[in-house]
Amino acid sequence: MNKLRQFFIVISPGMLTAATGVGAGDLATGSFAGSILGTAILWAVIVGAFLKYVVTEGIARWQLATGSTLLEGLTIHFGKIIALIFLPYLLMFTYFIGTAMMSANGVTLHAMFPIFDDAVTGKIFFGILISIVGFGLVYKGGYELFEKITHVCIAIMFICVILTAALMWPGTELVFKGLFIPTIPDMTGEGLTWTIALIGGVGGTVTVLSYGYWIREEGRTTSDDLPTCQIDLAVGYFMTALFGISMVIIGSNVTIQGGGAGLLINLSNQLGQEIGPAGKWLFLIGAFGAVFSSLLGVWQSIPYIFTDTWLMATMPASDIAERDHTFKVDTTSPIYRRYLMIIAFVPMLGLFTSFQQAQKLYAVTGAFFFPLLAIGLLLLNGRAKWIGEKFKYGPGAIISLIAVLLFFAWAGITNIIKLLS
């Protein structure tokens, strides 16, 4: 029993990262891709999870080898201009991700409790309500309460969604073929677009930076902790991939019609026809576990990132270099709590736009983050003078980061052109 408890302590930050990264985008993209292309593109989920693992492992590698967060490292070596540029981007991203999280939770809760005739009204009411609940939990409980609640949500979301996929199992041969034989159906039509979306949509964007702050909360501050983080992240992204695979399998069994605020209602109703009312509720409960844990993770982590960035932008450069390497962002500080209020309340204005529009703006603002993050990791982790010879990237890691850079730059440009057209 003690060993099992110790294992869950070890994998906790990785599971928090997985839960925060898995949200409405994964639900919608996975189900749509599965509905259109079937199980043939299951391999794309694995590729997407691997690319996110490479990036997040690089964040942990830098922090544990040098004692400074990635933002600190970039500011120390390239100047405060990094923090000054990132701040306005983070403000814009905060608004759009806040709206997307509220919309996703509002849509899911309306699908579960359709007390309003209009799905849009339900989305707005439940979106506002769940944002206030999330704000109260993070404000009052800090990291400890957030971690406990998210663990419960993780268990609910994975058990329910995976069981739903098992009930709709299309056949072992089809699943294995989709996982291990890469193909893209309908290459000249929507096939390539949905495959790109599936690879890029696995996991989060800016929120991957949270991992560095969460491992500090767990007391991981030295290079000896890197192997633990690698195991932790491998488990977290394995679970992320499993969730994405389950969503593709679920989508492959239904024909998804429409979108917007009624998307989950249509999907859950079709699941009810396929596997009965119990199956419908199993999926909806799992979906709520996914979107609520994602909202909690965003509400808890984005103020972390803002507080650290604000300090980088305003404190003298000499103080940044001399900062205590075990420094943890104070979740009771005025900066953190004011930004928590901003993300919990200001994006409510966006609820009056469509669910699809909220997801579109979120996708556009996050599109170029990963290419820039990959460049930063290549520059920092590629120099032995900065990170140390022992932790410097080898050829395999460099090739993987270049693949992240090229893929997400291409996907970002492609999707922005499509979304804005």
Distance CA 407, CA 189 (A): 20
For the cut 70, the answer to whether the pLDDT of residue 139 exceeds it is yes
Distance CA 112, CA 265 (A): 8
Cβ within 8 Å of residue 105, ≥6 positions away: 126, 127, 130, 131, 288, 291, 292, 295
- Residue linked to tokens 């499509």: 418
Report residue 279 CA to chain centroid gap: 26
| pTM assigned to the model | 0.88
Given this model, what pLDDT does residue 138 score? Answer: 93
Given this model, what pLDDT does residue 147 score? Answer: 87
Cβ within 8 Å of residue 397, ≥6 positions away: 54, 58, 381
Length of the chain: 421
Please give the structure tokens belonging to residue 225: 């902790």
Distance CA 403, CA 378 (A): 12
Domain coordinates in residue numbering, the chain: 16-420
SS3 at position 67: coil
Read off the pLDDT of each residue in 304-309 and give the average, rounded to a whole number: 91
Q: Output DSSP code: residue 23.
A: S
CATH code, residues 16-420: 1.20.1740.10
Cβ-defined contacts of 178-183 (< 8 Å, 24+): 178/38, 178/39, 178/40, 178/41, 178/42, 178/43, 178/248, 179/42, 179/43, 179/46, 179/245, 180/43, 181/43, 182/43, 182/44, 183/40, 183/41
**Which residue type is seen at 260?**
G
On whether the CB atoms of residues 17 and 56 are closer than 8 A, the answer is yes
Would you tell me how many other CB atoms lie within 10 Å of the CB of residue 406? Answer: 12
On whether the CB atoms of residues 87 and 103 are closer than 8 A, the answer is no
Distance CA 409, CA 417 (A): 12
Cα-based distances in Å from 248 to 57, 231, 256, 260, 359 = 26, 26, 12, 19, 19
Residue closest to 313 by CA, chosen among 129, 102, 90, 158: 90
For the cut 70, the answer to whether the pLDDT of residue 420 exceeds it is no
For the cut 90, the answer to whether the pLDDT of residue 340 exceeds it is yes
On whether the CB atoms of residues 296 and 150 are closer than 8 A, the answer is yes
Distance CA 207, CA 205 (A): 5
Please report which confidence band the pLDDT of residue 1 belongs to, taking 50, 70 and 90 as the band edges: low
Given this model, what pLDDT does residue 60 score? Answer: 95
Please report which confidence band the pLDDT of residue 421 belongs to, taking 50, 70 and 90 as the band edges: low
- Residue linked to tokens 């990262």: 17
Each residue's pLDDT tens digit, 189-238: 677 777 877 787 666 678 888 899 899 888 898 899 999 999 999 999 99
Distance CA 127, CA 131 (A): 6
| Sign of the torsion formed by the C-alpha atoms of 389, 207, 224 and 240 | negative
Cα-based distances in Å from 367 to 133, 159, 197, 258, 332 = 29, 30, 11, 24, 32
On whether the CB atoms of residues 99 and 353 are closer than 8 A, the answer is yes
Query: Counting beta carbons within 10 angstroms of the beta carbon of residue 322, is it exposed (0 to 12), middle (13 to 18) or buried (19 or more)?
Result: exposed
Residue closest to 303 by CA, chosen among 143, 129, 63: 143
Given this model, what pLDDT does residue 355 score? Answer: 54
When mean pLDDT is compared over 43-57, 254-268, 352-366, the highest value belongs to 43-57
